[in-house]
């Protein structure tokens, strides 16, 4: 099946995948950092097509992101099914929450209130149970501690286990499995950048002693010209038919040199075979790029679909689809896109090229005039936007400390169709060519598109902005009330 995999199976900012199977059903969860709700969770029956069924941390009592910087917050979950319940352990790297554990009988939710784990050190916690029912929690570094999953109490002190290839940096993302006669400890090493890789060791018990696989790293794309780079942070799953698979993160850098990735770290699927008791990762990067499926959100439902993300919090007073039925109403809190508290609702950019349209009403007709529009956000210091206010549309750019108005155009009052096109560069004629161009404009009633500005995409890439996330595209209100009739994402 490997030549049929259309990778990435979860395009866009979906890093640190963790997977488990129950019968014929697979579930997968990812990191979410400063975005609320946290930890998107997906379902599949074929490992190729994934549907988001919810978000694990979807209420403030589970997820505190106050004060979380961009690329802070929620790191690297592990999802497991044990004793009739789904367990998800994860780190909140900000707000003092630390490691926490939630459980559910239905992975679509509701998930429990968090059990706090003050005795679990570090990041990237894993869960594994031995034959006696003892739960072993392994964390980056790599060390291990026994855990009572009901109370959150740890038993004993953390013990260093196997820490990967001597000299390799950042041994992290550990997952411990009982497979056949061995316990296997899978880790990522080399850092989550171009040097990333996956290594494994095995031993007779959950605590080792562990012997490194002679073929380590069992997966890396470092110093290759593979279009998928930074491959690492993996998890293993056995399919119902007995075959083995790995989910992992990778990026697709675009442009010339050194390459810029703009969609964040994405989830890939790779086939795994076993030779002499060691896993061997097969080819997985073939396959055509996935074209964006047309998606319109009409904002007809009271609730927002699970893919919508807010920055750090989603207050009831910030948004409603009830005030003007069929429209999303956003009410600014006085914070602009330059601040971490902006009223913004976005979805991941999942395709190198895509088109976004929204009908925005900045409301000069009904006395609630506002300022807001459509934004591409990497973080609060790196974003471009096209925004409407009474009688005017402007394009703005924020790149690090620089903030500028790129274009301004007078428009008639009333709703206006704002558009953003991301156009990936496929021909690289110059080593300095960036990954894409982002085009901003207004669409007229007959579908004609008036371009107001074209901006370089590299400044909204992870290589420029830093951190762990990817682009999120969405609507925002910077002042007053702004309403949106629909949000289209298509090719």
Kindly list the catalytic residues: 16, 172
CB count, 10 Å around CB of 375? 25
Regarding 15 and contact with ligand 6LW (CB under 6 A), the answer is yes
H helices within 333-439, ranges in order? none
* Beta strand residue intervals within 93-142, DSSP E: 98-104, 115-116, 126-129, 135-139
Judged by CB under 6 A, the chain residues 163 through 182 that form the site for ligand 6LW are 172-173
First to last CA, the chain: 27
Least separation in angstroms between CB 357 and ligand 6LW: 32
- Asked if 359 contacts 484 with a C-beta cutoff of 8 angstroms, the reply is yes
Token pair 């900000």 in the structure block, residue = 94
User: Residue 36, interface with ligand 6LW (CB under 6 A)?
Assistant: no
Counting contacts by CB under 6 A, is residue 468 touching ligand 6LW? yes
C-alpha to C-alpha distance for 312 and 29, rounded to whole angstroms: 19
Q: Cβ closer to ligand 6LW: 236 or 439?
A: 236
Choice between 76 and 482, CB closer to ligand 6LW: 76
Is residue 232 near ligand 6LW by the rule CB under 6 A? yes
- Strand extents, DSSP E, 318-401: 319-320, 328-331, 343-348, 354-361, 371-379, 382-389, 392-399
| Residue 171 Cβ vs ligand 6LW, minimum distance, rounded to whole Å | 10
The single residue among 31, 92, 220, 479 that binds ligand 6LW, judged by CB under 6 A, is: 31
Q: Does 75 bind ligand 6LW (CB under 6 A)?
A: yes
Best CA proximity match to 251, nearest among 182, 304, 195, 174: 195
C-alpha dihedral sign at 375, 376, 380, 385? negative
Site string for ligand 6LW, 121-140 (x = CB under 6 A): --xx----------------
Q: Is position 235 an interface residue for ligand 6LW (rule: CB under 6 A)?
A: no
Is residue 76 within the footprint of ligand 6LW (CB under 6 A)? yes
How far out from the chain centre does Cα 219 lie?
A: 21
Kindly state the greatest CA–CA separation across the chain: 73
Q: In this complex, which beta carbon is closest to ligand 6LW, that of residue 123 or of residue 439?
A: 123
Residue from 28, 79, 188, 309 in contact with ligand 6LW (CB under 6 A): 188
Per-residue x/- mask for ligand 6LW, residues 305 to 324, rule CB under 6 A?
--------------------
Site for ligand 6LW in 191-210 (CB under 6 A): 192
Examine residue 141 and tell whether it contacts ligand 6LW (CB under 6 A).
Answer: no
Nearest Cα to Cα of residue 111 among 69, 163, 61, 65: 61
- Which residues contact ligand 6LW (rule: CB under 6 A)? 15-16, 31, 75-76, 123-124, 172-173, 188, 192, 232-233, 249, 468
């Amino acid at each position: 099946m490997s030549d049929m995999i259309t990778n990435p199976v979860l395009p866009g900012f979906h890093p640190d995948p963790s997977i488990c199977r129950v019968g014929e059903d697979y579930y997968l969860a990812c990191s979410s950092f400063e975005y609320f709700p946290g930890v998107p969770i997906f379902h599949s029956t074929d490992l190729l097509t994934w549907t988001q069924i919810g978000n694990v941390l979807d209420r403030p009592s589970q997820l505190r992101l106050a004060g979380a910087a961009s690329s802070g917050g929620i790191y690297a979950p592990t999802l497991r099914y044990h004793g009739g319940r789904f367990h998800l352990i994860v780190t909140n790297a900000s707000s003092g929450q630390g490691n926490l554990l939630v459980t559910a009988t239905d992975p679509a939710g509701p998930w429990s209130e968090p059990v706090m784990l003050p005795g679990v050190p570090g990041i990237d916690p894993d869960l594994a149970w031995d034959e006696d029912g003892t739960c072993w929690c392994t964390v980056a570094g790599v060390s291990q501690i026994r855990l009572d999953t009901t109370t959150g109490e740890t038993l004993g002190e953390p013990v260093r286990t196997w820490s990967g290839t001597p000299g390799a940096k950042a041994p992290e993302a550990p997952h411990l499995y009982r497979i056949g006669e061995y316990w296997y400890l899978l880790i990522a090493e080399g850092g989550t950048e171009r040097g990333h890789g996956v290594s494994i060791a095995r031993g007779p018990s959950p605590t080792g002693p562990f012997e490194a696989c002679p073929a380590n790293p069992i997966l890396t794309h470092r110093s290759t010209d593979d279009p998928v780079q930074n491959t690492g942070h993996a998890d293993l799953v056995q399919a119902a038919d007995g075959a083995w698979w790995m989910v992992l993160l990778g990026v697709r850098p675009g442009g010339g040199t050194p390459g810029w990735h703009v969609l964040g770290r994405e989830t890939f699927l790779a086939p795994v075979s076993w030779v002499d008791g060691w896993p061997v990762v097969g080819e997985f990067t073939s396959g055509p790029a996935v074209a964006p499926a047309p998606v319109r959100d009409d904002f007809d439902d009271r609730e927002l679909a699970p893919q919508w993300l807010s920055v750090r919090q989603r207050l009831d007073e910030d948004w409603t689809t009830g005030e003007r039925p069929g429209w999303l109403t956003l009410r600014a809190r006085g914070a602009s896109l330059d601040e971490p508290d902006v009223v913004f609702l976005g979805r991941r950019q999942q395709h190198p090229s895509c088109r976004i349209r929204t009908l925005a009403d900045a409301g000069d007709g009904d006395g609630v005039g506002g300022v807001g529009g459509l934004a591409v956000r990497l973080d609060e210091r790196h974003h471009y936007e096209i925004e409407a206010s009474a009688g005017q549309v402007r394009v703005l750019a924020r790149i690090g400390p620089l903030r500028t108005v790129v274009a301004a155009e007078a428009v008639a009052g009333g709703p206006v169709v704002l558009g953003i096109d991301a156009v990936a560069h496929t021909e690289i004629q110059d080593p300095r060519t960036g990954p894409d161009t982002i085009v901003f404009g207004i669409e007229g009633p007959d579908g004609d598109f008036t371009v107001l500005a074209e901006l370089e995409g590299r400044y909204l890439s992870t290589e420029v902005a830093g951190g762990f996330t990817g682009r999120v595209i969405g609507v925002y209100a910077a002042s007053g009330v702004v309403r949106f009739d629909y949000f289209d994402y298509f090719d």
